[in-house]
Amino acid sequence: MIDCHRPPSRRGFTLIELLIVIAIIAVLIGLLLPAVQKVREAAARTRCLNNLKQIGLAFHNHHTQLGFFPTGGWDWSSTPTYVNGTPAAGAKQEAGWGFQILPYVEAESVWRGTGATTDEGRVRAAMGAALPIFFCPSRRAPQTVTFSFPGFFNDKELVCGLCDYAAANWELTGVVRQYQPTKIDEITDGTSNTLMIGEKRLNLQFLGQVQKDDDTGYASGWDADVIRQTEIAPRPDYVASSGDGERRFGSIHPGRFQAVFADGSVRSVSYSIDPTLFRYLGDKSDGQAVDLNGL
């Protein structure tokens, strides 16, 4: 006679079956993570590209408004110059290109030091701003450091908003020059053939700490923070117990860094670019022919 009250038999997972399921899940996760990382990097690279596009547009709006491009400022120790509470322009402005384009990247209040009643207060407000447009999201979120050095800001500490982009070039042959501004008709090699602003190389070991080329920040005058060389090859970011970006262009992106040219176009440049071509790209008027297919 069948016992109708007997519960049906149940068979659970064996240990081996459970281990197989866990192994399959681990393999699937291993396959999925690189794809997710690639999607994130692609999105971050696009945001970085847009930052550079907006910076290039700001340079051109600056030229339309004032008749010249921003300068590279005066010196590493320079801070924003205010005359009767108003930011100076052109050769009279000691701060660099990052500060000078603020009115054209929706940051006019930062440029003016709105809310401050003294020039010192205006400098603190401007230099301490960590503006997203100056940061590559693949590398870091907006970041500041507290910097002090003899001869800088009357030997007082100053919070400085950092920057992931730099102008061409340290050799003084590029669009962004020390002290004196450049006009568009001085770019005789053609605006589409002349690199203007690009991502800068950093030693990631010291990210967020005071280091030689990442301390005085986006508003710095003529300094490796915001000016880089085109006579030396670009290189990717790296991690080491010593060293900095060596005044090189570069980025955290694999294979290439991004740059905006003097015509406002943004292009990717390979770390393996021919050094001679890279030198030509940085010089606005050397008369050399440039093949952009070599980027």
- Residue 279's pLDDT band, with cuts at 50, 70 and 90, is very high
- Judge whether 250 lies within some domain: yes
- Judge whether 5 lies within some domain: no
**What pLDDT score does 275 carry?**
96
- Judge whether 247 lies within some domain: yes
Q: How far apart are CA 238 and CA 52, in angstroms?
A: 22
- Judge whether 220 lies within some domain: yes
Q: Is 211 helix (H, G, I), strand (E, B) or coil?
A: strand
Structure tokens at 281: 């790209």
Q: How far apart are CA 284 and CA 63, in angstroms?
A: 16
Name the phi and psi angles at 147, rounded to 5: -120, 140
Provide Rg for the chain, Cα atoms: 25
pLDDT tens per residue, range 133-166: 999 999 999 999 999 999 899 999 999 999 999 9
- Judge whether 11 lies within some domain: no
Mean pLDDT for 167-188 is: 97
Q: How far apart are CA 123 and CA 156, in angstroms?
A: 12
- Judge whether 113 lies within some domain: yes
Number of domains comprising the chain: 1
**Of 107, 110, 111, 109, which is closest to residue 89 (Cα–Cα)?**
111
**What pLDDT score does 7 carry?**
57
Peptide bond into 169 cis (omega under 30): yes
**Sign of torsion over alpha carbons 103, 215, 250, 238:** negative
Return the higher-pLDDT residue of 21 and 288: 288
pLDDT tens per residue, range 192-231: 999 999 999 999 999 999 999 999 999 999 999 999 999 9
CB 231 within 8 A of CB 160: no
pLDDT tens per residue, range 41-94: 678 888 999 999 999 999 999 999 999 999 999 999 999 999 999 999 999 999
Question: For 235-251, b where at least 16 C-beta lie within 10 A, e where not — what string?
Answer: ebbeeeeeebbebbbbb
- Judge whether 249 lies within some domain: yes
Q: How far apart are CA 116 and CA 86, in angstroms?
A: 12
CB 97 within 8 A of CB 72: yes
Q: Is 260 helix (H, G, I), strand (E, B) or coil?
A: strand
Looking up tokens 């021919």, which residue turns up?
274
**What pLDDT score does 31 carry?**
74
Structure tokens at 53: 């596009």
State which residues form the domain around 85.
Answer: 21-294
Half-sphere exposure in the Cβ direction for 33 (13 Å, CA): 6
- Judge whether 10 lies within some domain: no
Mean pLDDT for 99-116 is: 95
This prediction has a pTM of 0.86
Does residue 241 surpass a pLDDT of 80?
yes
- What average pLDDT does the chain have? 91
Q: How far apart are CA 258 and CA 45, in angstroms?
A: 9
Mean pLDDT for 232-239 is: 97
Does residue 11 surpass a pLDDT of 90?
no
